[in-house]
Amino acid sequence: MDDRHTTLQHLKDRVRAFNDERDWGRYHSPRNLAMALSVEAGELLELYLWASDDGPQPPVGSREPKVAQEAADVLICLLNLCDRAGIDLAAAVDEKLARNAEKYPVEAARGRLEKSTEL
């Protein structure tokens, strides 16, 4: 499997099957999954803790293989959340990008860090 050939639906189906085999769905309310997503994102962020902007990212070489594992945990939690909440993630991303394109037109936002209300 790789990003070029794997659909979000395929990943959602695999995650759902994994959870169903373990009867974990009973714990997967949108609220709990949103909290788990935050926890997993924090674990990913922790790998970069104390890195200097001009130094290695992450700052400790032994953390590098863990980045992919934690990124996978974040995506698994997000896919679980979207599945339970009935969110079509691809459609949501497409809609959000369209809204952001309106808020951040290229000619006003290119190379700038301000929020849309500050441009």
Tell me what pLDDT residue 99 has: 97
| CATH T-level assignment (fold) for domain 1-87 | Helix Hairpins (1.10.287)
Does residue 87 contact residue 78 with C-beta atoms inside 8 Å? Answer: no
Angle between helices 30-46 and 64-85 (to 10 degrees): 170
Tell me what pLDDT residue 80 has: 97
* Number of C-beta neighbours around residue 47 at 10 A: 18
Tell if the pTM clears 0.95, that is, is over it.
Answer: no
Closest Cα to residue 60, out of 73, 50, 72? 50
Model pLDDT for residues 58-104, shown as the tens digit of each residue: 999 999 999 999 999 999 999 999 999 999 999 999 999 999 999 99
Q: Residue 48 and residue 64: Cα distance in Å, rounded?
A: 9
Q: At 26, is the pLDDT very low, low, confident or very high (cuts 50, 70, 90)?
A: very high
Q: Residue 51 and residue 37: Cα distance in Å, rounded?
A: 23
Q: Where in the chain is the domain with CATH 1.10.287.1080?
A: 1-87
Model pLDDT for residues 33-60, shown as the tens digit of each residue: 999 999 999 999 999 999 999 999 999 9
